[in-house]
Amino acid sequence: MGLGRTRSVGLAGVDGFLVDVEADVSSGLPAFTIGGRADTACAQAPDRVRAGAANCGFPVPQRRITINLSPASVPKVGSGFDLAIVVATLSAAGEVPQRQVDGVVHIGELGLDGSVRAVRGVLPLVLAARAAGARHVVVPVASAAEARLVEGIEVHPVARLDELVRRYRLLDQGRRPDPIPEPQLADAPSPAHPDLADVVGQAEARIALEVAAAGSHHLYLVGPPGAGKSMLAERLPGLLPALDHEQALEVSAIASISGRLAAVSGLCRRAPYVAPHHGASMAALIGGGSGAVMPGAITQAHNGVLFLDEAPEFSSAVLQALRQPIESGVVVVARASGRYRFPCKFQLVLAANPCPCGNAFGKGDRCTCSVVQLRAYAHRLSGPLLDRIDIQVQVPIPPRAALLGPAGESSETVARRVVEARAAQAERWASRGYSVNGRVPGPLLRSRPFRLAPPLTTDLDTAVDFGALSLRGYDRCLRVAWTLADLAGRTSPSRQDVGVALSMRRQHASAA
């Protein structure tokens, strides 16, 4: 009896950290304790380890067993440490050669029958193991293909504990065990997004949607019920280009933590689309939770689209919490146990009716709302939040003649222009660390060589002087103007581009 060591990985938000798992088997009354700030699921590991090891023919000694998860000051969440705990324990008991497991990372939950079961977040866990310098990682067979998405680390799948022990013994004897069959994992198939050609009429809204897709601009659609706001928003992901490898890894890691990667069966190459219900809580939208801190909808929409339908019906506190993530692209959830950082570079799309009954500013005087109701409804979306929205467009009910007219352009046609515009943006901003106009900071747009000549920004300057446009709004209009120029194939915006960008921002305000 003695001391056994191996490694595992824990998660804090979406960032992983290496955990040294130590097991000491000594004389004394039988006991099995775990130290190192283990949560409830992790603290229940002794029961699973005793039963799983015994059912595989390697009973845990009836001695005093002490497990230490280091660093002990960091919370350990979940059952993914089971495999490392049982391997360290069997190593201390002399059942597993210590030299074979010393630097290996073990991830997985142990069943009472000795089976090794999958856990959430295998992709970010393996990414963290590679970043910490680990060369070998043992994962459940069901998670092996997901783990192999990470290059630069050798993945060893395992289905049962007894199988793993035999493999370590063979390796210690200098013999190479046979490979274990495992399921193959391909890139997730691209979802079949609805076609933009299905939208009837709405010429201005279609242009706004294309501009939003091309420059990754935030979008606000306001109009009566049945005008097509949700239809337009649902077609935005179909206009966006495929994610590059690094973006796909980020999105897939978040999906793995959320338990959604198995549902799509591979690396997520398409931009995610997340549309939470308007009853969503702060934790559901921003992130958090009473137990393990989980990513919210804004993180699940990282590198994709977050659509808030019926936006005024969301809690005011929840909406206000969006302001900081919109600007920074990162949200930090603070808890007593620590601070958890989640990426959230999402494209926000808001949709709202013009009033509670939905008939304000429509054809005819059919609005039944009182002045007090109109005022209260208008204040549900605060000025500071709307000031962060690049494009604000009215979506009226199309006339009956639009039903008989020709169909609009398809998503495929518009997506080609979006790809060309994004290529121009990526080339322009590559040396400055940006890829889309919607993320370029205002000071860069207002400095040479990108600063526009005064005659081109006359409309913006006048709007600021008369208080009709904030300084933040000024910068956002410049971003939209650059996107309009990219879509038109110009190297810089014209005065018309600037004017159109300003009109796209003022439509809702002027109508209200």
- DSSP SS3 for 7: strand
Q: Determine phi and psi for 169, rounding to 5 degrees.
A: -70, -40
Longest distance between any two alpha carbons in the chain, whole Å: 88
Q: Give the contacts of 277 (CB within 8 A, at least 6 positions apart).
A: none
**What's the CA gap between 210 and 301, in Å, rounded?**
19
Half-sphere exposure of 61 (CA within 13 A, CB side): 21
Q: Which of 40, 53, 114, 43 is nearest to 89 (CA)?
A: 53
Distances in Å between the alpha carbon of 334 and those of 73, 88, 132, 330, 331? 16, 33, 25, 13, 10
Query: Is residue 231 within 8 Å of 361, Cβ to Cβ?
Result: no
Query: Is residue 407 within 8 Å of 203, Cβ to Cβ?
Result: no
Can you give the pLDDT at residue 182?
58
Write the DSSP symbol of residue 410. -
Q: How many other C-beta atoms lie within 10 A of the C-beta of residue 139?
A: 29
Q: DSSP E strands: which ranges in 126-283?
A: 136-140, 154-158, 219-222, 273-274
Q: How many other C-beta atoms lie within 10 A of the C-beta of residue 144?
A: 24
Domains in the chain and their CATH numbers?
Answer: 3-172 (3.30.230.10), 196-511 (3.40.50.300)
Cβ burial 14-47 (10 Å sphere, 16+ → b, else e): bbbbbbbbbbbbeeeeeebebebbbeebbeebbe
**What's the CA gap between 456 and 72, in Å, rounded?**
60
Query: Is residue 120 within 8 Å of 143, Cβ to Cβ?
Result: no
Looking only at the bridges linking them, the beta strands covering 219-222 and 154-158 are unpaired
Read off the tokens for 58: 């390697």
Q: How many other C-beta atoms lie within 10 A of the C-beta of residue 296?
A: 29
pLDDT cut 70: percent of the chain above it: 93
Query: Is residue 110 within 8 Å of 90, Cβ to Cβ?
Result: no
Q: Name the residue type at position 484.
A: L
Can you give the pLDDT at residue 413?
94
Can you give the pLDDT at residue 371?
84
Can you give the pLDDT at residue 510?
40
Query: Is residue 166 within 8 Å of 137, Cβ to Cβ?
Result: no
Query: Is residue 343 within 8 Å of 299, Cβ to Cβ?
Result: yes
* Residues of the chain falling short of pLDDT 70: 1, 179-192, 261-266, 361-365, 506-512
Q: Which residue has the tokens 């966006």?
A: 240
